[in-house]
Amino acid sequence: MHSKSKIIMVTVASVILGLWAIVTIIPLYWMIIGSVQDTTLSATYKPQMIPSIWSVAPFERFFSKTSAWRWLFNSVFISAVLTATNVFFGSLAGYAFAKLKFPGSKTVFWVLLSTMMIPAQVTLIPLYVLIINVFNLGDTYTAIILPGAVSVGNIFLMKQYMSSLPTSLIHAARIDACSEFGIFWKVILPLAKPGLAVLAIFTFVTSWNDFFWPFLITSSDEMRTIQVGLASFVFAESTDYGAIMAGATVGALPMMILFFSLQRYFLQGITIGAVKG
């Protein structure tokens, strides 16, 4: 009786999960499949679930009509720099808050953490004025990168993670007369590698997908990231369905490939330091 109801439960669960998984995947499938069918060839041709005509022409048109290669380079460069700064400064500060005792440590940490409740819209306008008018940095890499160089969320994540590392090793290193930075660099960082990997991956994906700030602060075509460029392309080119889908695919595919190759980190990583319980 008991095992029978268990079997029914698992069957129902599988069916619902299967259907939901299909619904979740359909938009991405529709995008990729739409990018390999050339709708401009015939006025009556509609994109199909299983295409009858395969073509790479939409991709060729997307790359020839836009500066997409440049946008991709910008996205890779900006995401890489943001990843490096966030991993370094985030783990450094996270380590200090987790393992070093200093006056004001708790206060500073909570002040930083409470800023996560402030919506981006509040700081946006003064930030815009500051970057454009005061620092004269409009339309530069620095402007896109600097405000996000180390995010509070990442410091929080690293503090949680560092707290779980053994303190005894730090004491041992201190007795061996390591400098404090030496301890961090030679003892802590190697121990924290799994946490740093997760932090790096999530920062890279977040930076790659970020839209609003780069959109606001860039004005020239060659400074756009792929996301900002894509949005401008859709506004300019509302009729070329295939090219639009090709663009959307170009914007998303690198992260999907990253996801499939580093799945383990994505699926376990998010739980480090998130919530206890």
Nearest to 242 by CA among 53, 105, 107: 53
CA angle, residues 72, 205, 83, in degrees to nearest 5: 90
Query: Using CB under 8 A, which of 115, 142, 167, 219 touches other proteins?
Result: 115
- Report the SS3 class of residue 114: helix
Query: Using CB under 8 A, which of 144, 200, 216, 223 touches other proteins?
Result: 216
- Of the two residues 59 and 95, which places its CB atom closer to other proteins in the complex? 95
- How crowded is residue 73: how many other Cβ atoms within 10 Å of its Cβ? 14
- Count Cβ atoms within 10 A of the Cβ of residue 126 and give its class: 0-12 exposed, 13-18 middle, 19 or more buried: exposed
Query: Using CB under 8 A, which of 203, 247, 265, 273 touches other proteins?
Result: 247
Query: Using CB under 8 A, which of 76, 81, 108, 191 touches other proteins?
Result: 108
- The minimum distance between CB 60 and other proteins, in angstroms, equals 19
Does position 277 interact with other proteins (CB under 8 A)? The reply is yes
User: What is the residue type of 49?
Assistant: M
Query: Using CB under 8 A, which of 120, 169, 172, 236 touches other proteins?
Result: 120
Query: How is 238-265 classified by DSSP, letter by letter?
Result: -S-HHHHHHHHHHHHHHHHHHHHHTHHH
- The Cα–Cα gap between 221 and 232 comes to 9
- The Cα–Cα gap between 86 and 92 comes to 10
- Scan residues 18-77 and list those touching other proteins (CB under 8 A): 20-21, 23-28, 30-31, 34, 46-47
- Here the tokens at position 62 are 């997307």
- The Cα–Cα gap between 229 and 155 comes to 30
φ, ψ (nearest 5 deg) of residue 218 = -100, 145
Query: Using CB under 8 A, which of 103, 168, 177, 239 touches other proteins?
Result: 103
> Which residue matches tokens 């792929």?
226
Does position 123 interact with other proteins (CB under 8 A)? The reply is yes
- Of the two residues 72 and 231, which places its CB atom closer to other proteins in the complex? 231
- The minimum distance between CB 222 and other proteins, in angstroms, equals 19
- The minimum distance between CB 151 and other proteins, in angstroms, equals 9
- Count Cβ atoms within 10 A of the Cβ of residue 263 and give its class: 0-12 exposed, 13-18 middle, 19 or more buried: exposed
- Of the two residues 167 and 263, which places its CB atom closer to other proteins in the complex? 263
Does position 84 interact with other proteins (CB under 8 A)? The reply is no
Query: Using CB under 8 A, which of 136, 220, 239, 271 touches other proteins?
Result: 271
Stretch that binds other proteins, among 63-71, 100-108, 167-175, 192-200 (CB under 8 A): 100-108
- The minimum distance between CB 254 and other proteins, in angstroms, equals 9
Does position 261 interact with other proteins (CB under 8 A)? The reply is no
Q: Which residues, including other chains, have CB under 8 Å from residue 147's CB and lie 6 or more apart?
A: 127, 131, 213
- The minimum distance between CB 262 and other proteins, in angstroms, equals 10
- The Cα–Cα gap between 220 and 275 comes to 42
- Scan residues 161-190 and list those touching other proteins (CB under 8 A): 179-181, 184
- Scan residues 217-236 and list those touching other proteins (CB under 8 A): 227, 230-231, 234
